[in-house]
Structure 1
Amino acid sequence: MTFFRNNYTAKLIVAALAVFSSSCSDDYLEEMTYGEISPAEMTSPGNVDRAIIAAYSTLNGQYDASSSAFNSPASNWSFGDVVSDDAYKGGGGTGDQNNIHLLEIFNVNPTIIDVERKWVALFEGVKRTNEAMRLLQSSEEYNPTLKESRMGELYFLRGHYYFELKKIYNTIPYIDETAATVNDYAVSHTQFTSEQLWDKIEENFTKAYERLPESQEQVGRPNKMTAKAYLAKTYIFQKQWRDALEAANEVINSNKYSLLPHFRDVFLPENDNSSEIIFAVQHSVLDGAPDNYNGSIGDRLSAPGGPFYSQYGFHRPSQNLINAYKTNANGMPVLDNVNLAGTDFVDPRLDHTVGRPGIPYLDLGVLYEANWARDLSTYGPFAPKKRIVSANSPYQTDTWPYISALNYYIIRYADLLLWKAEALVELDDLEGARAVVNQVRGRARDSRYVMNLAGTAPAANYKIETYSATWADKVSAREAVRTERRLELAMEGHRFFDLVRWGVAAETINNYLAVEKTRRTHLTNANFTEGTHEYLPVPQKYFDVLESMK
């Protein structure tokens, strides 16, 4: 069997899960046991390393022997895209994964499987991280210098799991490594205020920054600048603009990261630990793991159909997103939400991001056709493309579950640059923000465009330019930065969380729905209620377990 991925984590995950097999439970409050290994043996360096790798292994949303990571995807395609103006659920109609359809129309309740499984997956990560910390701290044989670095990694992982929980659920319990029994995990989700939770998340990334080395020999492990970048993200979510700017500048000035010359190259699996990637979930396929569970298992429903892929047909780009890529004769965004016509100018990132009829699909030598789309009448003709790996690639499997080794990028350099631009706008440095946004737009302009099948001309009327004129005021500058985030990061699971933290989710989503309902009848009953739908509810199962333990 061939092993496709330059990924150290995958080689150890199987062994780690063998040690912690009984820890993968349907509820994070369920007690962990250690199988056949005695407690005294657990603090040996080898077993501590396995515990650390087990903490990493849940990053991709796969935490049990099920193939249901699409209900808890690391990419947040359902939690960040489908509930936004960027994508529809897709699939075989509203009854296919109806649970995700309920999220899409904001008919959310705490018993929906996605609400439960995402919570459990993230708290499984917290639990494994806490256990690994306890073992590492107790190990007398572990190399002292390496121990400090590994503790930094664990603080980083715990910070990540709690950051995801905070941005998705808002009110959450917080449990650290002092938890020794199942009862220690049975704590209230209202024990801490929102500000206190953010302080704890910041503390994790600060401790990670203090302990992590400047670089790591093995890809996938965070370094000092990875932690600083996540601190920048944490500050951005709290609108701590000065702190965010300082953190972003430290990462930028480290010269560890840079934009790749070509936009499409960022999403080739052979490049997915490139200079643009600050932190990623490491994926691998054909590595011996059961059913390729170390691959992009959470995204397996995104396969677009057609002659090369399974026709799961989920995660379908919205008409609103397609229209957002329209540009004028000067290469500037139009944002009129009028359906894109064949003669319109478009941002070239459009055809790297989505599959459109009449445009070549990846390197497969064929034009994408509307009939590739499953349930065309319900969800329209468009397909995901940015994070789909070519069927010609050895990093894409051609058997069930039809997944790839493409990493999921939690933070990439373009993301960080746009946080910096956002902070600069809020700090009234509009010219500084414009220069940063122009770095991102300049890369899009200078990238290779999608070409026609003959390779003789661009496949569409691509037109994009940097902002040449000074932004008139803070409002227009803010709109430009937010627009750039959407165009650059579309279909990467960020959009909804951006709308929420900007405080415009209700306005944006309801304006979107007012028009999109005239295009897609599956959205007829959708309605976003301000103050209710910004976050998922805490799962009912959590309350049931707490009640049973009284």
Structure 2
Amino acid sequence: MITDTVADTQFSTAEGLDEALIGAYVPLRGFYGREPGMLMNLYGTDLFQEGQSYNSEWDTYGAGLNSSTVLSPSGDELVWEPFYKGINYVNTVISRAEDIPNLDQSLKVQKIAEAKFLRAHYYFVLVQHFGPLHLTLEETRKVELEAYRVPEAEVYEAIIADLTYAIEHLPSQQPQYGRPTQIAAVNHLAKVYLTIGNWEKAASLAIQVITSGRHRLLDQYKDVFDPFNQRHEEVIWAVQWGDNPEVNNPGNELQRYFAPRQWLLAGLIGDDMYHTGIARFWPTDYALTTLFGNDYRKEGLHIRNDTRYSVTFKEVWEYNDAPNLPQGKSIGDTAAWFTNDPIIQEVPDADVAKYPYRLVRIKDRNTVNSPTVQKHRYPYTRNNGRDYMYMRLAETYLIASEALMMQGKLDEAAFYFNEVRKRAAFPGMAIPLIRPEQLSIDEILDERGRELCGELHRWTDLKRTGKLIERVRKYNPYGGPNIQEHHLLRPIPQTQIDRTKNDFAQNPGY
């Protein structure tokens, strides 16, 4: 499928082997820090919908999915090609490591373990989205024109085998931040077992991570997303960027895709923290109201006792463009308020213009103005970026809770659930905790939505729990009318089908 044309000599030394291993990380940036990861994990869910996009079919489940192998208008590849390239880099490391003379045995198995962790991750993402896959565990050294899809169960067997090897051979600490540790492999395997419904193993592994002492929940939810302290104790494994634009390609642009087009308002300009927004991804009405509990006049969980809405979404934009300030305005004055406040939603249309700033209620949102997820903000130029946290400990608690609930162990499940919720409370305020008998898969999904909103997990969460179709139809105004059973799998890229000599079947419905 992917041809490796690198000279044999490049990978004949320990240094060359590590170069190949570093190369295997690159596809992660193009997916998690760019539009592909957002389109495939946020669009077409209950929490996010299309803002201003050239790729609306991922939200609407429209006919364009049939030919959707590249992004518009950039022409960038989505996930299939880049991840299979990553897999071939990994396979190269694994196969060539055996042939390097005098390579220290412990170093060899550690590098192979790191490679197998990455291979497991690539296949895990692909199998969740595409179903049966071409499974290749050997390096591709020449053009191959045949490929065959194997059942999902066989792919998962390979994933589990790779992560098991990684658990056995990865170190407890890595000399370089960002390389996976042993506990990261344990956590990843917990996610895999949760996905395939092995609740006992998922719970056991998640609890092993929680009790290992290697990671902890930070004291306050807002601290998790501090752009000046990204590499903290809650992070289990993250995709790396940094402050040097020369080594950041492709850069992390998640904040830019989430942000509104604030620069279209007089007195506002893209800055080095929130950048120049392009309004691709909007929260749904459900995310802005029911999920977080926007009506604080009612009892229960809401935005006045749970910090996660105010940490996740930026509502207030302040003037920051001195040459273009409106008359009578100063730097730092409020320029726009994109709010879910329930009282403001009741303001009559005729009174909206009376406010001394641009007021945007939920019903006023458009392709320019909406609350923005601010978790991915970073204080540098566009091609410098923050890390992307693929695994953090709060999710591990929710994995344990879900897996225990599915086994009927409700008291234990409620304990891990409430550890996450308690951390979300405003300091000094009580927050409603869940009782064991209240637990359900919908409660788990809602809590994951509040805790992980905008963190690129939602589509696979909904699919895994059997709730994708139900929730999209209920809460997504664009995808709801069109989503069908066959949309539980993505279409195989036509380029893959065309270049395969044998019959490489398309997924049903496309």
TM-score by length of 2: 0.81
Range with bigger deviation, 155-164 or 127-136:
127-136
Residues 302, 366 of structure 1: alpha-carbon distance in 2 compared, 3 angstrom cutoff = farther
- The equivalent of 2:292 in structure 1 is 325
Task: Give 1:549 deviation, angstroms.
Answer: 11
Structure 1 segment 29-428 matched on structure 2, within 5 A: 29-34=1-6, 38-61=7-30, 70-72=34-36, 76-91=37-52, 96-97=53-54, 100-107=55-62, 108-114=64-70, 117-183=78-144, 186-189=146-149, 192-289=150-247, 292-297=248-253, 300-306=256-262, 307=268, 308=271, 309-323=275-289, 324-326=291-293, 332-333=300-301, 345=304, 347-357=306-316, 367=334, 368-370=336-338, 378-379=366-367, 381-389=369-377, 393=379, 396-397=380-381, 402-428=382-408
* 8 Å Cα contact 2:255-2:374 kept in structure 1: no
Task: Give 1:383 deviation, angstroms.
Answer: 3.2
Instruction: Give yes or no for the alignment of 1:494 onto 2:494.
Output: no
Task: Give 1:447 deviation, angstroms.
Answer: 5.5
4+ runs deviating over 4 angstroms: 297-300, 327-331, 357-361, 364-368, 370-373
* 8 Å Cα contact 1:499-1:505 kept in structure 2: yes
Task: Give 1:178 deviation, angstroms.
Answer: 4.8
Range with bigger deviation, 502-511 or 171-180:
171-180
Task: Give 1:135 deviation, angstroms.
Answer: 2.2
| Amino acid corresponding to residue 356 of structure 1 in structure 2 | E
CA distance in 2, matches of 1:365, 1:253: 45
| Amino acid corresponding to residue 411 of structure 1 in structure 2 | M
CA distance in 2, matches of 1:240, 1:548: 35
Residues 427, 524 of structure 1: alpha-carbon distance in 2 compared, 3 angstrom cutoff = closer
Range with bigger deviation, 165-174 or 136-145:
136-145
Aligned length: 454
Range with bigger deviation, 54-63 or 257-266:
54-63
- Helix, strand or coil for the counterpart of 2:236? strand
CA distance in 2, matches of 1:438, 1:472: 13
Unpaired runs of 5+ residues, structure 2, are 72-76, 263-267, 321-330, 339-357, 505-510
* 8 Å Cα contact 2:92-2:139 kept in structure 1: no
CA distance in 1, matches of 2:416, 2:101: 48
* 8 Å Cα contact 2:305-2:425 kept in structure 1: no
* 8 Å Cα contact 1:438-1:466 kept in structure 2: no
Deviation digits for residues 99-130 of structure 1, max 9, x if unmatched? Answer: x2011100153321348521112111111111
* 8 Å Cα contact 2:301-2:431 kept in structure 1: no
| Amino acid corresponding to residue 405 of structure 2 in structure 1 | V
Residues 269, 41 of structure 1: alpha-carbon distance in 2 compared, 3 angstrom cutoff = same
* 8 Å Cα contact 1:347-1:464 kept in structure 2: no
- Helix, strand or coil for the counterpart of 1:113? coil
Residues 447, 139 of structure 1: alpha-carbon distance in 2 compared, 3 angstrom cutoff = farther
| Amino acid corresponding to residue 479 of structure 1 in structure 2 | D
- Helix, strand or coil for the counterpart of 2:176? coil
CA distance in 2, matches of 1:81, 1:359: 28
Structure 1 segment 376-525 matched on structure 2, within 5 A: 378-379=366-367, 381-389=369-377, 393=379, 396-397=380-381, 402-446=382-426, 465-467=431-433, 470-472=435-437, 476-513=439-476, 517=477, 523=478
Task: Give 1:300 deviation, angstroms.
Answer: 4.5
- The equivalent of 1:533 in structure 2 is 487
Deviation digits for residues 187-244 of structure 1, max 9, x if unmatched? Answer: 112xx21212111111111111111112112111111111000000000001100010
Task: Give 1:365 deviation, angstroms.
Answer: 5.2
Residues 311, 59 of structure 1: alpha-carbon distance in 2 compared, 3 angstrom cutoff = closer
Task: Give 1:386 deviation, angstroms.
Answer: 3.1
* 8 Å Cα contact 1:212-1:224 kept in structure 2: yes
* 8 Å Cα contact 1:330-1:465 kept in structure 2: no
* 8 Å Cα contact 2:256-2:277 kept in structure 1: no
* 8 Å Cα contact 1:303-1:312 kept in structure 2: yes
Deviation digits for residues 363-408 of structure 1, max 9, x if unmatched? Answer: x9564534699x9753474232332325xx2xx20xxxx2442111
CA distance in 2, matches of 1:478, 1:144: 46
Deviation digits for residues 485-528 of structure 1, max 9, x if unmatched? Answer: 11100111111211111111111111114xxx4xxxxx388421
Deviation digits for residues 37-76 of structure 1, max 9, x if unmatched? Answer: x42343112211111111122211279xxxxx7343xxx2
* 8 Å Cα contact 2:2-2:88 kept in structure 1: no
| Amino acid corresponding to residue 103 of structure 1 in structure 2 | W
- Helix, strand or coil for the counterpart of 2:390? strand
| RMSD, aligned CA | 3.0
Deviation digits for residues 144-179 of structure 1, max 9, x if unmatched? Answer: 221111111000000000001011112211111254
Deviation digits for residues 460-503 of structure 1, max 9, x if unmatched? Answer: xxx761416x3336xx4433222111110011111121111111
Residues 543, 113 of structure 1: alpha-carbon distance in 2 compared, 3 angstrom cutoff = closer
Unpaired runs of 5+ residues, structure 1, are 1-28, 64-68, 335-343, 449-462, 518-522
* 8 Å Cα contact 1:248-1:420 kept in structure 2: yes
